[in-house]
Amino acid sequence: MNHKKSPHFHFSQKNNWMNDPNGLIKVEDVYHLFFQSNPIDKNWGNIGWGHATSNDLVTWEKMPEALHADEKVMIFSGSAITSNNTLGLDERLIAFYTACEYSCDEDSNFTVKKQTQNIAYSDNSGTNWKHYPDNPIIDINSAEFRDPKVIKLSDYLWLMLVTRARDFEIDFYLSNNLVEWSLKSSFSDCRFRKGAWECPDLIHVSINEKSKYILTISVDNGFKSGGSGVLYIIGDYNDGYFTKDTSIMGNDDYRVLDKGPDFFASQSFYNDDANEPPTIVGWLNNWKYAKDMPDKELPLLQSVPRQLSLISDTNNKILLKQIPTQHIDKYTYRLAYHNDILMTPMVPVTLKCVPGCFIYNAQFLQTKDASLSIVVSNKFAHIFTIKINESFTNLTISRRKSEAFGQHVNEFSTEFSPLNDLLDIKIIVDYFCVEIFINDFTEVFTMHLGEYFEEVDICTSTNESKLLVKTISVACPLIS
């Protein structure tokens, strides 16, 4: 009997429900991943915070559940920071979360009664939590008010972003003591008014020695890729106000962080080390079909952590760059490597019987007359395909239809401008899912594959013209 392997590069749960990453934080060289979790069932419900830890963002150890729901309140998404007894409770970690008061009728119909912002605190381990005795810390008497993201501005000043989900506004609060919060501003300068705005984040980056901020907003429905996604806006933050930088954004009201269908609720790690680049994790799924996956015996996944930065293209357009954690490489061995191959239509580069967990890296010399195709398949059909047109300006990615997705969109396209003469492609496949990074990590597509793949073939080909493959390699996990 063929037993399915667990995802190798992605934190996952199969026997318990999991969605949004919460409270991402690095403490004493340990990364903590909290997440929306149902500790007693594989389906959504009874939501609290699960917990896992890692020393390198690749191998994760599941820890005891951190925050628990009860029959009246679920513990929805939020964030975490370090503390040196700011609350006077001898605390070292503070979690900010949304308490969702709810009711269920006799037919198990779920109704939200109210959402408020609350505090829990812990020692450095993040395993033993107590709720702040004077919760809630913010209550505006709303059922659509959630997902607090707290950011340290100085030793005595903190910023909290909270979304008023159906009003399409992000509220900015300031505090000197983490308990008393003053509403400073509300951001709504974005015309994407579909679904609900959720899980806001404000990430500090720099470009050309200038300080900038990336505001990310997750939306549960309405993206072109179908269903959920994350949009972002580049701008400036000052004294409780965020403003869009129109010189950078140009005519873009917003941009899409991941152009695949399965990246949602992204959050950055809180990190006291200012020299470490900002790193995010997203839920690798889509609300259009996520709740049906447990009954199809599919794992629920978090994305590979990604470092964020801004870069300029040849036309001085500012682009978001997302590099998957490079610690992955130390857990792989090289299965195949080729360089300086002049690929022709009759002679593609084909790799057969590759394990269903692998990392593909390649560089191609741009040629105006040669297109590029990468097909990952098994003996039944194509699993997913990457196609780039002759001018290397259009990128289309498609995945095989699966019963897990129903009638959902399965083809995703974008226009792009190559940053270098060599076009680079990185593909991370992990039995059930794929993350694709193209053009110096500026074009990103994440997809759940909807089923398990034990073994695949990889065919890289071109059309009627020749195409120089500078390098192409495939690496697999050291432990299968």
pLDDT tens digit sequence for 342-366: 999 999 999 999 999 999 999 999 8
Q: Can 12-324 and 331-477 be said to share one CATH topology?
A: no
* % the chain with pLDDT above 70: 99
pLDDT tens digit sequence for 373-411: 999 999 889 999 999 998 899 999 999 999 999 889 999
Could you tell me which CATH class the domain 12-324 is placed in? mainly beta
Instruction: Calculate the average pLDDT of the chain.
Output: 95
What are the residue numbers of the active site? 20
Structure letter (DSSP) for residue 167: G
Query: Nearest-CA neighbor of 126 among 38, 48, 66?
Result: 66
> Is pLDDT at 42 greater than 90 in this prediction?
yes
Query: Nearest-CA neighbor of 385 among 405, 361, 412, 356?
Result: 412
> Is pLDDT at 117 greater than 50 in this prediction?
yes
143 with 123: CB under 8 angstroms?
Answer: no
Q: What is the mean pLDDT of residues 78-103?
A: 97
146 with 76: CB under 8 angstroms?
Answer: yes
* CATH T-level topology, domain 331-477: Jelly Rolls (2.60.120)
Instruction: Give dist(CA 63, CA 49) in Å, integer.
Output: 11
Least confident residue range of 34-43, 97-106, 161-170, 210-219: 97-106
Q: What is the mean pLDDT of residues 217-230?
A: 92
DSSP 40-103: T-SSS-S-EEEEEEESSSSS-EEEEEEE---SSEEEEEEEEEE-SSTTSS--SEEEEEEEEEEE
Whose structure tokens read 């447990």? Answer: 294
> Is pLDDT at 479 greater than 90 in this prediction?
no
The pLDDT, as a whole number, for residue 30 is 97
pLDDT band at 109 (very low <50, low <70, confident <90, very high): confident
The pLDDT, as a whole number, for residue 350 is 96
pLDDT band at 314 (very low <50, low <70, confident <90, very high): confident
DSSP, collapsed to helix, strand or coil, labels residue 290 as: helix
Write b or e for each residue in 206-236: b if 16 or more Cβ atoms lie within 10 A of its Cβ, otherwise e: ebeeeebbbbbbbbbeebebbbbbbbbbbbe
Q: What is the mean pLDDT of residues 255-266?
A: 97
> Is pLDDT at 1 greater than 50 in this prediction?
no
> Is pLDDT at 145 greater than 90 in this prediction?
yes
Q: Please give the single-letter amino acid code of residue 345.
A: P
Contacting residues for 155 by C-beta, under 8 A, at least 6 apart: none
> Is pLDDT at 275 greater than 70 in this prediction?
yes
pLDDT tens digit sequence for 153-180: 999 999 999 999 999 999 999 999 999 9
Instruction: Give dist(CA 55, CA 471) in Å, integer.
Output: 31
- Tell me how far CA of residue 457 lies from CA of 350, 383, 438, in angstroms: 7, 10, 20
| Bond before 418 cis per omega within 30 degrees | no
> Is pLDDT at 309 greater than 60 in this prediction?
yes
The pLDDT, as a whole number, for residue 99 is 98
- Tell me how far CA of residue 222 lies from CA of 197, 229, 396, in angstroms: 11, 8, 20
User: Kindly report the CA angle at 102 between 97 and 105, in degrees rounded to 5?
Assistant: 155
Question: Quick one: which H or E segment has residue 246?
Answer: helix 246-249
Query: Nearest-CA neighbor of 81 among 316, 267, 349?
Result: 267
Q: What is the mean pLDDT of residues 307-320?
A: 92
Instruction: Give dist(CA 88, CA 293) in Å, integer.
Output: 44
Positive/negative CA dihedral, 113, 115, 116, 119: positive
31: Cα within 13 Å, side-chain hemisphere: 22
pLDDT band at 2 (very low <50, low <70, confident <90, very high): low
Instruction: Give dist(CA 411, CA 212) in Å, integer.
Output: 33
The alpha-helical segments, DSSP class H, found in 299-444 are none
Instruction: Give dist(CA 270, CA 195) in Å, integer.
Output: 28
Q: Has this prediction a pTM greater than 0.85? A: yes
> Is pLDDT at 426 greater than 50 in this prediction?
yes
122 with 142: CB under 8 angstroms?
Answer: no
For the sheet containing 157-164, what is the strand order? 145-154, 157-164, 169-175, 182-187
More confident residue, 480 or 173: 173
Domain regions of the chain by residue span: 12-324, 331-477
Q: Please give the single-letter amino acid code of residue 364.
A: F
Structure letter (DSSP) for residue 270: E
Whose structure tokens read 């993040």? Answer: 126
Return the CA Rg of the chain.
22
